[in-house]
Amino acid sequence: MKVLLTGATGFVGSHVLDSLRQRGVAVRILVRATSDNRFIRSHLRDIEAQKGSIGNPASLRQALAGVTHVIHCAGATKALSAKGFFQVNQDGTRNLVEAINQAGGIQRLVHISSLAAAGPAALNQPRRETDPPAPVSTYGRSKLAGEQEVSGKCQTDFVILRPPAVYGVRDFEFLRLFKVIKGHIRPVFGGGGQQLSFVYVKDLAEAAVHALKYPALARQNCFVAAREIVTARQFGLEIASHLSARTVPLPLPTALLWLLCAGQEILSRITRRPSVLSLQKYAELTAPAWTCDPTKLEESSGFVCRTTIFEGVPRALDWYRQSGWL
């Protein structure tokens, strides 16, 4: 087996690379000239790195030579415009699928999508794979479009994995929440009752590697999540308890949340630096639930995401502290 991994320099992809290398799998990664290699430096001597981009079909054809499996982790989780999301999450995925179809000999593509492609859930009704997708953000629509490139055009076996919020070691996004809570402020939006599914990043990485082989997963899409469902308030309190921080809840009514999203969007446009917080994110933040049911993955492959927030949050926190991020 030889795996082409895209997005290896990112948060999720760097853990997928760790998992592949722990199993001794031969890996080639696709990296851009601008990629930041800090999370994968220790692997660079043992893997092949192909310069290129999912926006460049010629580089994808080169990257696929001699490869048997692909894990597609590259994606845009933030962008300055809708075009920015679709260029990476749809067009980039289409380029990869077309290159795989041309290459022949590839046995399986594991595509990392998102719960955002499926859309939010109703309270106490976690999303299942059979629910019709109804994304509410530009990001979610672009991830759904990426899934459709895979399911509609890929001539090779594929598995589409849909994680909910991913957290853990090396994550910049939840780091902000840890920092604010360390400063004794605990933001509470929508009354704090939004229900959430989570997946610890190492569980997601292991699921992606597991999905390379498991026959029952072929041509399926599956949610990858821990079974526990927690509210946004519980998640904040869990972080506070491990930080031993006394916190003051800061209620963010929807109008204030909208202003925060709008303000951040204006700042991103001025600085040309996209942020996860933006107006397109507002609809996600105000949804009643972002929950999903992992039964299909568990029953069809035996893979279970075992890390609860009670284990995952302190692991992330230890790493943030050791790395000087917090």
Ligand X SMILES: NC(=O)c1ccc[n+]([C@@H]2O[C@H](COP(=O)([O-])OP(=O)(O)OC[C@H]3O[C@@H](n4cnc5c(N)ncnc54)[C@H](OP(=O)(O)O)[C@@H]3O)[C@@H](O)[C@H]2O)c1
Q: Which residues bind ligand X (CB under 6 A)?
A: 6-7, 9-13, 30, 32, 34-36, 53-55, 73-77, 88, 92, 112, 114, 143, 163, 165-166
CB atoms within 10 A of CB 272: 7
Give the C-alpha separation, 226 to 33, whole Å. Answer: 35
Q: CB of 173: closest distance to ligand X in angstroms? A: 6
- Strands 229-231, 195-200: pairing kind: antiparallel
Collapsed DSSP state (helix, strand, coil) of residue 128? coil
Q: CB of 199: closest distance to ligand X in angstroms? A: 8
Give the C-alpha separation, 135 to 141, whole Å. Answer: 6
| Residue with Cβ nearer ligand X (67 or 247) | 67
| Residue with Cβ nearer ligand X (88 or 222) | 88
Q: CB of 118: closest distance to ligand X in angstroms? A: 11
Collapsed DSSP state (helix, strand, coil) of residue 315? helix
Q: CB of 168: closest distance to ligand X in angstroms? A: 10
Q: CB of 165: closest distance to ligand X in angstroms? A: 5
Contacts of 103 (CB under 8 A, 6+ apart): 61, 64, 65, 67
| Residue with Cβ nearer ligand X (62 or 249) | 62
| Residue facing ligand X at closest CB distance | 10
Question: Taking Cα atoms as reference points, which of 263, 247, 114, 127 lies closest to residue 192?
Answer: 247
| Residue with Cβ nearer ligand X (198 or 282) | 198
Collapsed DSSP state (helix, strand, coil) of residue 211? coil
| Residue with Cβ nearer ligand X (170 or 242) | 170
Q: CB of 244: closest distance to ligand X in angstroms? A: 26
| Residue with Cβ nearer ligand X (32 or 182) | 32
Largest Cα–Cα distance of the chain, in whole Å?
58
Collapsed DSSP state (helix, strand, coil) of residue 226? strand
